Amino acid sequence: MRKSIKVFAPATISNVGCGFDTIGFAINEPGDIVTLKLRSDDKIRITKITGDGGVLPKDVNKNTCSVAILELLKNYNSGLIGVDIEIRKKMPIGSGLGSSAASSVAGVFGLNKLLGDPFNEMEVLDFALKGESIASGAIHADNVAPCLAGGFILIRDYNPLEIIKIPVPKNLYCAVVYPHITIETKKARKLLKKSLPIKAARKHFGNIGSLVSALYEGNIELLSRTIHDEISEPARSTLIPGYFDIKNSAIKSGAFGCSISGSGPSIFAFAKSKIDADKIGLAMKKEVKKNGMKCSTYISKINPVGPRILK
């Protein structure tokens, strides 16, 4: 049995416009890298964290990665296991790109591999969700599930958890701009209204069904019409300076839908080609800078595999 493993887990886009807490997909970059080394005793330690600016806890009961690993080990019945954990953050914290989910997934995916895959994908997902909930204050799988499984994922229900893998249209690209501001998930969720007018709800539910249909059909024209959000965008857009200017710049540059990823501030847009995605990303970047913010951009196809073993 191997004694160490290094795993990359990717960023994810959640909500996907109308899919509040129910739809997400993985992209190729950015992501987090977690290295695990088995110990000769039963201690669980975080030995090193880099790329976080010193903000993440090394307390194993407070870090998303280690909490997920502890949850896995609670359910492992083949002797005591000790692990040294090294976390390399290669994606921004509080960006709306599933940073906490990536660390959580990389940790439990890697440990499950080290132990010979004693747990199936749904069990590993459950462990990762327990870790991610430390950061978000709630269990919602639209980041964690696509990070682990890759591609587009629909969360049908949470009790019990049921996920559905949705086909990915060929040549679908995603342009992401991350304005360098921080939005805390817990605070962003408090902005959401507790009720939705029937007219808005009808429109929203119609978009969810159409989004799933568009993905199955590979119909990007239909997909573009479904990326409309009646629940979170109206509230969370107020946290991103010039949000609608950024969104309009993407649409004018040829984007097939544009919206906020998760709680923000990252904004994603769909494109039919890398050339188009590059053009859209550049347009969004220019608009972000006009509103007085620095930013990072990422251009990616949809990631079909989720985490991968680096070493």
Q: Which of 132, 230, 233, 287 is catalytic?
A: 132
Q: Which of 185, 230, 233, 287 is catalytic?
A: 185
What would the DSSP string read from start to end of the chain?
A: --SEEEEEEEEEEESTTT-TTTEEEEEEEEEEEEEEEEESSS-EEEEEEESSTT-S---TTT-HHHHHHHHHHHT--SS--EEEEEEEEES-TTSSS-HHHHHHHHHHHHHHHHTTS-S-HHHHHHHHHHHHHHHHSS---TTHHHHHH-SEEEEEEETTEEEEEE---TT-EEEEEEES----HHHHHHTS-S---HHHHHHHHHHHHHHHHHHHHT-HHHHHHH---SSSHHHHGGGSTTHHHHHHHHHHTT-S-EEE-TTSS-EEEEESSHHHHHHHHHHHHHHHHHTT--EEEEEEEB-SS--EE--
Determine whether 185 is an active site residue.
Answer: yes
Determine whether 182 is an active site residue.
Answer: no
Catalytic residue list: 132, 185
